[in-house]
Chain A
Amino acid sequence: MKKRRSSDIPVDSFSDIAFLLIIYFMVATTLVKVKSITADLPAGEKSTQAKSEKTPIINLRGGEMFFSDKRVKIAELNERLAALDLPNQDGEKRVIMLEAAKGTPYQNYFQALSAISANGGVVAIVEDE
């Protein structure tokens, strides 16, 4: 009588392989977390309405920044926006207009945008005519 060979699949090392795979993924994985600011710009029909005198406006001209026609630096802009107490205002009073002249670098725009966003304002972009 012939002796039967055992045909078992060796599974003893499976757990080792699996744990090695887990360790590999844990070591090789990097969690992507970028830092950003959130800006919910209003969408819809473009308004041709003239700028209201009461609505604060930030003008960016090249490397310079103006808040309601007064030249300011970023720290000063933050203070002035904080003084407006925007989070506790309602509706249109939270709107801050943002106008940029041709050639304004994104760095300046980003700083103004982040200042408005951080102080609870709603950005309204002023377009060129």
Chain B
Amino acid sequence: MKRAKKKKRRTIPIPVASMGDIAFLLIIFFLVCSEAVKDNSSLAVALPTSEHVKKTKASVVAYVTVDENGEIYFDNNRVDSAKDVEWGVRALLTNTISDDQRHVQFKCDKSQSKEVFQPILQAIAEAGGIIEAVGEIEK
């Protein structure tokens, strides 16, 4: 009887030489595309609620925050009045072409009264910004 010939196992090498290059390319891609967060999430702000709030896709050019003490922050920097916000937004929007580039995020503590927030809303509008008022979904 003839003995079955043992088949020789072929080794299939996976090419891993370029893996490192691919990985570094990915890192560089993420580094270039990432945008540093300028959000004032560290500030004490209790957001208002509404059933109409939804996730927005608009890219924001400036961040305006009013905390629980009524202090105003423009792009993380404390400012004295609504007029400073208007100048800041106006300066940022000087070269804007489309409406997509005019969105200004507005975060305000829900307990603040009209005397505090309304001048800021008007200042943003006067400077040509579209207000993105941040809130939470009402449960």
Q: Which residue numbers of A lie inside 8 Å of B, CB to CB?
A: 11, 14-15, 18-19, 21-22, 25, 32-43, 60, 100-107, 109-111, 113-115, 117-118, 125, 127
- Complex contact B48–A111 (CB within 8 A): yes
What's the count of A-B pairs with C-beta under 8 Å? 135
Q: Which residue numbers of B lie inside 8 Å of A, CB to CB?
A: 16, 19-20, 23-24, 26-27, 30, 37, 39, 48-56, 58, 103, 105, 108-118, 121-122, 124-128, 130-137
Do most interface residues of chain A lie in helix, strand or loop, or is the interface mixed? Answer: mixed
Residue of A nearest to B124 (CB): A41
- Complex contact A40–B111 (CB within 8 A): no
Partner of B137, one of A11, A35, A111: A35
Chain A residues near B130 (CB-CB < 8 A): 38-40
The complex places the Cα of A63 from the Cα of B7 at a distance, in Å, of 86
Residue among B27, B114, B126 with the most chain A CB within 10 A?
A: B114
- Complex contact B131–A109 (CB within 8 A): no
